[in-house]
Structure 1
């Protein structure tokens, strides 16, 4: 038994040592800066000569060429939504047609403002184009086949409904939500597989930011785990784009006081009128909460007998609704769990990464205390500096 555990721990240590090389997409961000600032004349030619050929495809994925403005919107009769299978504890659905496997991820725009609607259409189209160019090089995101668009009317209000259609690689089967896996304690085969799941989620979030979007809904319900039939491990993919928007785009400054959503929100984003506009670092905080659950392999949210959401024993006394806790005390408790529970479960390196995510906006944080260090015109260097801190 000792030999088996030691082997598992050694594998996890090896995986953590590879974290930098597998998670590090800072060089992609640097290439993005180069593409933006050296895009003229001889300077661009010289830059292209210095960059490996492989970078051309990576740069083009984040900035598709004009010909990528293909027919993004699909024919509605091509996919019968009513035959799609529900995925437990996830808003996305699974659709199969012959040998084709698709994930259907829907979002709704209820705004009556023409400006708001046009911005949503623009963002949906842009995301679909960029993820269409995406070749799934291991960044935890599906390739987008296109978008279904339809107009509906609900309670005398016109609504725009979009469904992002994602292609599932043929070597991935049985999409299940991470929430379901955590609740049923269906543990991966080894600690190294747990680390890999955390890595893939971190890379997916970083790649979304590389594409100039914020996700705004990172939680276990927005993460799918699929079985890789060739390598026999669980692969993590990020979905749940119901609230995404262009980074730096229009924000309504609307938050949520619903505790399950609040659990994954930074304290300054809590409540119906949050203090701060949503920025990329708020996604990083949500990522930290998810990485904590992954490392512990324990859900912080449970479902009661009648289907109501209830907090787990780990956090129930720290919620504002408990009468004893507050949104800030909950955050501090999550940091404490990362410090005390994660090291003996999965190692100190993983625990440090989780704590870094949870405290990324803290004024007194040794790594991120000086906010001016992370400010630049396009936000790209913010990403580079942040990833450097995660090494």
Structure 2
């Protein structure tokens, strides 16, 4: 990469650190004096602590960045610098200053403005960090672990331990690159987690399992991997254990993926032969719903902001599945789980900008790991004739005998179909539409129909920018796609695919305002 671009990343990171520390110092002026904003300030400090660690780390890594990585870093750091500068200037206007220019308190008439300013800053920093995390983790994961070890860990509370980016990345890096031992406990006793008692979730193979009783009851999501999908059951076991370890060390809010409690293994009666492996996931809140069930409800469609929020959640989930070196192979509304908003969020009652915010709407997570695989290994080119699955598969992956092995771009195509579906807020895999497509043809004609549907109907519903993102996904494997570059997307280098996806899909969705 060019030296100038690397130096620009360093300079902008330094600028962000200076403005961020100044902003936190100003907020500390009123901390303790106004108990109503105490919780919001604690949230702000927590966000900034994580951000500052990431900035210092990226600052030291800037000389090693590839051009595309550095360009995205510069774009996001410029955005952060603007947010921090504007927030600091606003706060200075309501802070009383004493000798030497130090803050001494808040002007009484400006207190309401202060509360609104802090909440807005928290929302903007949270949204920015949601955009930044995938680029940071992707860049760090591909570099030597020595760079991780060189960053000193700061003291932290037990609540912060799971979200410390360097600690999480260090553990994840070791798991992905095989430099850590298998000390992360993932095997659960089937007596403690009796899968036979699990209840089905509507429109999904995912199930709910409750343990305990009364106020101590805990409910988990169960996602089952059938070993019949693998020629070698030992390979299924190894893949499942690798994925479970990675999903056990992550922070769900950061990765857009649920934290895995562990695995329960079922065996063929009377033998030691594995028949199925069950992922046990912790639930962030009660009342999970499949996206398919939401799409089929006769209720009025949700707001455009919530639809955009869902799209951003899904893009984040797909990005981090790939960061973890796996391909999903089963992205569709039946494997997407949504939750209601968390009313206990520090800023759940705050006013928000026109863009969607994670505290305004409940999260969505990607499950359905019944066909996933490690990106570095190939499985049989086996498919099926199920229309509800083939609808979300690229033409080269449809039918019983598929043409191509599943790769990251195929996940991106499936995401595009889902983004089109939620953008129009209609269920493709139900009713006469699916039957018509099945009876007429599959493969390339279905893809062409979906592309035409996006071009004709999506702009009026979700706008041109959202439509462009969907079209990028649906055409990402086309040889004549000059935006995504179909030939490059066929490259086995997951880093190239990951960078293009972050830039053309994830960041593009984050920049949409409604």
TM-score bucket of the superposed structures, by smaller chain:
0.7 to 0.9
Question: How far did residue 112 of structure 1 move?
Answer: 8.3
Aligned counterparts, 1:1-391, within 5 A: 22-23=130-131, 25-34=134-143, 38-40=144-146, 48=151, 54-60=164-170, 62-64=172-174, 66=180, 69-97=183-211, 98-110=216-228, 116-152=232-268, 159-169=274-284, 172-186=285-299, 189-230=302-343, 231=348, 233-302=361-430, 310-312=431-433, 316-317=435-436, 319=437, 321-323=438-440, 325-369=441-485, 371-372=487-488, 375=491, 378-390=493-505, 391=508
Is the alpha carbon distance of 1:190 and 1:253 closer, same or farther for their aligned partners in structure 2, counting shifts above 3 Å? same
The structure, 1 or 2, with the larger RCO (C-alpha pairs under 8 Å, 6+ apart) is 1
Distance 2:447 2:128 in 1: 26
Question: How far did residue 124 of structure 1 move?
Answer: 0.4
Q: How many residues align?
A: 350
Question: How far did residue 288 of structure 1 move?
Answer: 0.5
Distance 1:347 1:366 in 2: 22
**Given the two structures, how large is their TM-score scaled by the length of structure 1?**
0.81
Q: CA RMSD in A?
A: 3.0
Distance 2:181 2:330 in 1: 31
**Given the two structures, how large is their TM-score scaled by the length of structure 2?**
0.63
Is the alpha carbon distance of 1:244 and 1:326 closer, same or farther for their aligned partners in structure 2, counting shifts above 3 Å? closer
Distance 1:19 1:337 in 2: 30
CA-to-partner distance for each residue in 1:48-102, whole Å, 9 max, x for gaps? 47xxx95413423532463553331101110222332221101111122234221
Larger Rg: 2
Distance 2:189 2:136 in 1: 38
Conservation of the 8 A alpha-carbon contact between 1:363 and 1:369: yes
Aligned to 1:12: none
Three-state SS of the structure 1 residue aligned to 2:224 is: strand
Conservation of the 8 A alpha-carbon contact between 1:179 and 1:220: yes
Distance 2:210 2:490 in 1: 44
Conservation of the 8 A alpha-carbon contact between 1:269 and 1:278: yes
Distance 1:72 1:259 in 2: 35
Distance 1:110 1:159 in 2: 9
Unmatched tracts of structure 2, length 5 or more: 1-122, 153-162, 349-359, 509-514
Distance 1:385 1:62 in 2: 22
Unmatched tracts of structure 1, length 5 or more: 1-14, 303-309
Question: How far did residue 122 of structure 1 move?
Answer: 0.8
| The structure with more strand, counted as a fraction of residues | 1
Distance 2:467 2:128 in 1: 15
Is the alpha carbon distance of 1:283 and 1:44 closer, same or farther for their aligned partners in structure 2, counting shifts above 3 Å? closer
